[in-house]
Amino acid sequence: MGNIFILGGIFRLKAVNKKLPDIQASGDDRGIAIDRVGVSDLQYPIQVMDSTGNLKPTEAKISMSVHLPHHFKGTHMSRFLEVLSKHEGEVTMRTLPSILHDLKDKLEAESAHIEIEFNYFITKKAPVTGMQAKVRCRCTFIGESNGESDDFTLRVETPVTTLCPCSRDISDRGAHNQRGYVSIDVKPTRKTNGSWELILIEELVKVAERSGSAPIYTLLKRPDEKHVTEEAYDNPVFVEDVVRNVAEILREDSRIASFRVKTVNHESIHDHNAFAIVTSDD
């Protein structure tokens, strides 16, 4: 027993020697394995690497899960957070395999899955005045590890301007345009040493911007607005054109094993959105 003094009084604490029961590790007789079980929508600070090799702090929404065999009643949710805390110094494609392997070891699982969604800010210069401001891109790291292999997908969603070719050709004055969102998923190829080829977030942003009518900027003065408006007018694209333009660039990149491209146009004159998807042959 131990003593604790509070305002002159003495309280005696009994030592707790009884081992707490591990209910999650107990058996289950229904014979049903669970494909994925874990934690989701966890807001957590992380650091990601930029194109210069420096680490950038950001906040992520994280989902982590493992496969649960049929004979276990449950998984230990706290252990997901233990693993994440261990790796919070850097979350990149080079550290993801370690995180996944630690999840499998810590939770005694055959496979593990993680999705890390975060904002990534790129400094862009206005096309005429050169004034700088940051543009947000939405990125996701998706990793999976099973008994056979590790898998990694980089997803980058980039806002672009799209101008309708049909509207431009049939209208005497102007053409309708809108903001489009180009979402690119890429799986890198493996090097001979087993590591993945490096694909930068900034590279996929540039691919998306080249495939639309004009880039999106945060800060534009009047000369910049004139430039961007005329650039979009000179480069009209349907939503179908955007995904084909992206696919044409990606399929020539030997660092990319497979890809999926989705573009959504938030239509300016319709009460709906327009979308298109292109997937490579794996």
C-beta of residue 63 within 8 angstroms of C-beta of residue 51: no
C-beta of residue 65 within 8 angstroms of C-beta of residue 112: yes
Could you tell me which residues come within 8 angstroms of residue 255 by beta carbon, excluding any fewer than 6 positions away?
188, 189, 197, 198, 199
Is 51 a domain residue? Answer: yes
Total tally of structural domains belonging to the chain: 1
Is 227 a domain residue? Answer: yes
Report d(CA 143, CA 113) in Å as an integer.
Answer: 6
Is 91 a domain residue? Answer: yes
Is 241 a domain residue? Answer: yes
Is 209 a domain residue? Answer: yes
Is 81 a domain residue? Answer: yes
Is 2 a domain residue? Answer: no
Helix (H, G, I), strand (E, B) or coil at 88: coil
**Burial of 122 per CB tally in 10 Å (0-12, 13-18, 19+):** middle
Q: Is the pTM of this model over 0.75?
A: yes
Is 25 a domain residue? Answer: no
Supply 248's token pair.
């044409």
CATH number at residue 48: 3.10.270.10
Task: Residue 166: give the domain boundaries.
Answer: 31-279
Q: What is the residue-level pLDDT of the chain in tens, covering all 282 positions?
A: 455 545 555 555 555 556 766 556 555 667 677 888 889 999 999 888 888 888 889 999 999 999 887 666 667 788 888 998 888 777 887 888 899 999 999 888 889 999 999 999 999 999 999 999 999 999 999 999 987 788 999 999 999 999 999 999 999 998 999 999 999 999 999 888 878 899 999 999 999 999 999 999 999 999 999 999 999 999 999 999 999 999 999 999 999 999 999 999 999 899 999 999 999 975
